[in-house]
């Protein structure tokens, strides 16, 4: 069985094979590829990824064929389908897939790939629901606040963010078309399944629990091994990731815990804020932190590998996930697997595995006061933090750490192929 994956951005192994910049996410894709390779009869796998560049590139590594489709994130958004069909046809004709798996519905290239491979059965493995995310483009952040943080008052920042919101909204019909055209939608949670059943009621839905990256299955978090009063959170380049809410919570925590630190991973920094290329949201965060008196509490470890992320989680006293919307938040699941006591906004499918008062704390996204309160409770109650840690690890291991994850996915592939053949 030849299986072609399409990913929206390079992940770890693809970055190494193609020589692209280190991935900021995608640990679940690496883990799934390894799970497939460990099956009794592993499919022949090819991965085509969108990445910066001008030409179609191909590489081989560890028995997997990698293709780099030029353009990368320049193609993100509501670009009309059809522009990349010829490139995708080259990939299809070079690999001859029996089945196509599209990771995520964020790009219209999924439709281009289907057009380039008529008659080839396809599945969509959901990574998010644009139909849901489009309702929270700026995480409730007033655009006037973003504009006020810019060095020149006449910069058209509001126009940029309105355009971004409009672009995300325009993606919704493309996502719905993609859902209707594939033979099966694969998800690991009921929240996501409900959205896709609503938009594509005739498309089959299959459940598959994404395997967890091995880096997060090593030594667990311990109260003795963490750095007291250190908070680690998910990366957040866009307002709907809610980092500004974590900063507001930090201002409420600092009076009681003056040594508190908030460590924010990813391509985010307050360095060179006078540079015109600094994203407006970063400028806003810097100004907000300055106004609230917590700028010196923020630390930026940069883009991290999976192993480095796991180590950051072990060192943190508490993990927070302040997003306005998420599908399942892989980073939160990884933190829970490590055992870092977690506080999360109650969004997406998060309540399906993080249970308030049992293995962590949940709060409404806009209620950063509660975020601060729950973090301080975990700082002050080591027994509670240890109990949450043990319960979280047990929950995630029971739900997501499965030795048969690869075989389950192969079985879904076989069922889709059988249905397609009649």
Q: What digits encode the pLDDT tens for the residues 329-386?
A: 889 999 999 999 999 999 999 999 999 999 999 999 999 999 999 999 999 999 999 9
Q: What pLDDT shows up at residue 28?
A: 75
Is the pLDDT at 12 greater than 90? The verdict is no
Give the residues across from 318 on adjacent strands.
231
Whole-number pLDDT of residue 281 = 84
Instruction: Please tell me if the domain spanning 2-211+402-421 has the same topology as the one spanning 214-400.
Output: yes
Question: Each residue of 161-177: pLDDT tens digit?
Answer: 777 788 888 889 999 99
Boundaries of every domain in the chain = 2-211+402-421, 214-400
Mean pLDDT of the region 208-229 = 91
| pLDDT above 90 as % of the chain | 57
Provide the pLDDT for residue 211: 80
**Count of residues making up the chain:** 422
Q: What phi and psi values does residue 80 have, to the nearest 5 degrees?
A: -60, 135
The residue that leads in pLDDT, 412 or 281, is 412
Burial of 387 (0-12, 13-18, 19+ CB in 10 A): middle
Q: Which secondary structure element, helix H or strand E, spans residue 108, and what is its range?
A: none
Highest mean pLDDT among 5-19, 75-89, 353-367: 353-367
Tell me the pLDDT band of 201, cut-offs 50, 70 and 90.
very high
Say if residues 5 and 45 touch (Cβ distance below 8 Å).
Answer: yes
Distance CA 112, CA 79 (A): 11
**CATH assignment of 2-211+402-421?**
3.40.50.2000
Kind of pairing between the strands at 57-61 and 64-70: antiparallel
**DSSP result, 7-40:** ESS--HHHHHHHT-PPPSS-HHHHHHHHHHHTSS
Question: Which homologous superfamily is 214-400 in?
Answer: Glycogen Phosphorylase B; (3.40.50.2000)
Q: What is the DSSP letter of 106?
A: S
How many other CB atoms are there within 10 angstroms of residue 169's CB atom?
15
């Amino acid at each position: 069985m030849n299986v072609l994956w399409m990913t929206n951005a390079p992940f770890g192994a693809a970055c190494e094979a193609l020589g692209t910049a280190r991935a900021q996410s995608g640990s679940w894709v690496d883990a799934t590829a390894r799970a497939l390779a460990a099956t009794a009869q592993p499919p022949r796998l090819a991965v085509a990824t969108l990445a910066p560049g001008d030409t179609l590139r191909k590489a081989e590594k560890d028995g997997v064929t990698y293709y780099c489709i030029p353009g990368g994130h320049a193609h993100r958004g509501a670009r009309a389908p059809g522009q990349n069909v010829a490139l995708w046809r080259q990939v299809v004709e070079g690999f001859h897939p029996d089945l196509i798996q599209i990771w995520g519905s964020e790009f219209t290239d999924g439709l281009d790939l289907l057009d380039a491979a008529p008659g080839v059965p396809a599945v969509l493995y959901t990574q998010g629901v644009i139909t849901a995310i489009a309702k929270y483009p700026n995480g409730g952040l007033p655009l006037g606040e973003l504009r006020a943080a810019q060095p020149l008052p006449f910069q058209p920042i509001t126009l940029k963010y309105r355009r971004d919101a409009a672009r995300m909204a325009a993606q919704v019909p493309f996502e719905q078309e993609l859902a209707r055209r594939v033979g099966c939608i694969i998800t690991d949670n009921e929240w996501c399944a409900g959205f896709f059943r609503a938009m594509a009621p005739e498309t089959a839905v299959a459940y598959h629990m994404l395997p967890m990256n091995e880096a997060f299955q090593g030594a667990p978090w311990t109260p003795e091994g963490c750095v007291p009063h250190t908070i680690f959170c998910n990366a957040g380049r866009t307002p709907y990731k809610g980092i500004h809410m974590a900063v507001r919570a930090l201002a409420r925590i600092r009076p009681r815990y003056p040594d508190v630190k908030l460590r924010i991973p990813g391509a985010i920094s307050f360095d060179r804020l006078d540079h015109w290329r600094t994203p407006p949201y970063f400028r806003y965060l810097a100004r907000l932190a300055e106004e609230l008196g917590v700028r010196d509490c923020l630390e930026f470890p940069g883009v991290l590998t999976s192993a480095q992320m796991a180590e950051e989680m072990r060192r943190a006293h508490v993990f927070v996930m302040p997003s306005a919307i998420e599908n399942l938040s892989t980073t939160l699941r990884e933190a829970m697997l490590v055992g870092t006591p977690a506080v999360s906004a109650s969004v997406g499918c998060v309540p399906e595995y993080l249970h308030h008062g049992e293995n962590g704390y949940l709060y409404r996204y806009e209620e950063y006061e509660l975020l601060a309160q729950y973090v301080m409770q975990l700082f002050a109650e080591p027994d509670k933090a240890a109990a949450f840690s043990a319960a979280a690890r047990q929950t995630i291991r029971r739900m997501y750490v499965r030795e048969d994850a690869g075989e389950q996915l192969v079985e879904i592939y076989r069922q889709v192929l059988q249905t397609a053949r009649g």
